């Protein structure tokens, strides 16, 4: 299913000191192969149901989940997503993807790409 989880930042070196902006990630092809929308939704549900096992703060995970749900909508207001994350003290690790986040304590939260974007090979 991919590498996901949360862990403390190493040495306090946080790559997000300059606040990253929310931008649209590029379309992608799931390397696990084509799947149906039903299978994709099932994978997303399994991740979000099991994410507490990855560590980190449940309230932070909940905010990330809400932001990811909005991000899935191609018409979503990116500034609203930024506001949700900012209000919870969550920063995006980079603008290249919407999959890695840090909380105020420096914990890293990793979300699989299929939870933030629908792959182009969904049937």
Residue 5 domain-assigned (yes or no): no
Region 115-121: what's the mean pLDDT?
Answer: 85
Residue 96 domain-assigned (yes or no): yes
C-alpha dist (Å) from residue 118 to 1, 84, 98: 15, 21, 12
* Residue 13 pLDDT: 45
Residue 13 domain-assigned (yes or no): no
Region 66-95: what's the mean pLDDT?
Answer: 88
* Residue 48 pLDDT: 93
CATH number at residue 112: 1.20.225.20
Residue 16 domain-assigned (yes or no): no
Residue 117 domain-assigned (yes or no): yes
Neighbours of 106 (CB within 10 A): 15
The answer to whether 3 and 113 have CB atoms below 8 angstroms apart is no
Query: How do residues 28-68 score in pLDDT, each as one tens digit?
Result: 677 777 889 999 999 999 999 998 788 889 999 999 999 99
- pLDDT band for 16, please (50, 70, 90 cuts): very low
Strands 5-8 and 107-110: antiparallel
The answer, as to whether pTM is greater than 0.85, is no
**91 lies in which domain range?**
37-123
Query: How do residues 57-70 score in pLDDT, each as one tens digit?
Result: 999 999 999 999 99
Count of domains for the chain:
1
Residue 90 domain-assigned (yes or no): yes
């Amino acid at each position: 299913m991919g590498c996901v989880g949360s862990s403390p930042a190493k040495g306090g070196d946080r790559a997000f000191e300059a606040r990253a902006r929310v931008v649209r990630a590029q379309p992608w092809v799931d390397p696990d192969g084509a799947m149906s929308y039903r299978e994709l939704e099932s994978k997303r549900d399994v991740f979000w149901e099991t994410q507490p096992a990855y560590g980190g703060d449940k309230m932070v995970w909940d905010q990330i989940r809400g932001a990811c749900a909005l991000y899935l909508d191609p018409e979503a207001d990116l500034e609203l997503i930024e506001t949700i994350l900012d209000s919870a003290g969550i920063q995006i690790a980079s603008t290249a993807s919407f999959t890695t986040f840090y909380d105020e304590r420096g914990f890293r939260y990793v979300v699989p790409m299929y939870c933030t974007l629908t792959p182009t090979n969904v049937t």
